[in-house]
């Protein structure tokens, strides 16, 4: 075996090792996106399980506020459907609608002093608020993971390995325009 053959085999071995390293990195990034989605999924399921308890507690006090309670449950169903289908595009708007209806429910609870002081209501409200905060944190982590995935599968030379092995871009969880708009503090104090 000549020196030229050894050099060619060495270059091929380095090239194959580099391609394997790129592939393994892309696999790890893809699984990070899946893990980030699974974290959101767990929190959405927890909130999904807590909301009926909150609505039932409120129903006992809010006999005439059925429309608000119905909106909360309808919004909950839309989030559940998007979560089950793993439809990231539908999840953002469904989440926005659910947060808006929960905000209405908590604001409406102010008119019911007995409900506001009910220990079960307070615990559920705190639990759901904590879950909401955790979901917001996980959404940020998911979007960061999806962005890293999307950038890597478009960069050269990763794009070659990504196209050969059918790596796909991840969809970002996007917010509705209303969720990004500034809060009208004056309007909040006037109501």
Domains recognised in the chain with CATH numbers: 7-181 (1.20.1440.20)
Question: How many Å apart are CA 85 and CA 94, to the nearest integer?
Answer: 13
* pLDDT at residue 16 greater than cutoff 50: yes
- Among the residue ranges 23-37, 82-96, 171-185, the one predicted with the least confidence is 171-185
Cα 40 to Cα 50, 69, 95, 168, 187: the distances in Å are 15, 24, 12, 20, 32
Please give the structure tokens belonging to residue 81.
């459907």
Dihedral sign, CA of 25, 31, 37, 39?
negative
Query: 191 pLDDT band (50/70/90 cuts)?
Result: very low
* Burial of residue 106, with CB atoms counted within 10 A of its CB: 0-12 exposed, 13-18 middle, 19 or more buried: middle
Please give the structure tokens belonging to residue 73.
């449950």
Across 29-41, average pLDDT: 93
Name the range with the highest mean pLDDT among 74-78, 135-139, 146-150: 146-150
Question: How many Å apart are CA 44 and CA 42, to the nearest integer?
Answer: 5
pTM: 0.69
Neighbouring C-beta atoms of residue 55, cutoff 10 Å: 18
Q: What is the mean pLDDT of the chain?
A: 84
Collapsed DSSP state (helix, strand, coil) of residue 117? helix
In tens, the pLDDT along 144-157 reads 999 999 999 999 99
């Amino acid at each position: 075996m000549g020196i030229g053959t050894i050099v060619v085999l060495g270059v091929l071995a380095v090239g194959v090792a580099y391609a394997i390293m790129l592939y393994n990195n892309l696999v790890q990034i893809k699984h990070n996106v899946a893990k980030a989605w699974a974290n959101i999924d767990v929190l959405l399921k927890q909130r999904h399980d807590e909301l009926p308890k909150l609505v039932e507690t409120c129903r006992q006090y809010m006999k005439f506020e059925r429309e608000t309670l119905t909106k909360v449950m309808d919004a909950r169903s839309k989030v559940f459907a998007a979560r089950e289908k793993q439809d990231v595009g539908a999840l953002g708007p469904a989440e926005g609608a659910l947060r808006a209806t929960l905000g209405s429910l908590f604001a409406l609870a102010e008119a019911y002093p007995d409900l506001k002081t009910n220990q079960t209501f307070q615990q559920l409200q705190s639990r759901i608020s904590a879950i909401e905060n955790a979901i917001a944190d996980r959404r940020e982590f998911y979007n960061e993971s999806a962005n890293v995935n999307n950038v890597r599968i478009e960069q050269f030379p990763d794009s070659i390995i990504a196209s050969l092995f059918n790596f796909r871009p991840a969809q970002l969880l996007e917010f509705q325009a209303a969720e990004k708009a500034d809060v009208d503090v004056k309007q909040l104090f006037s109501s």
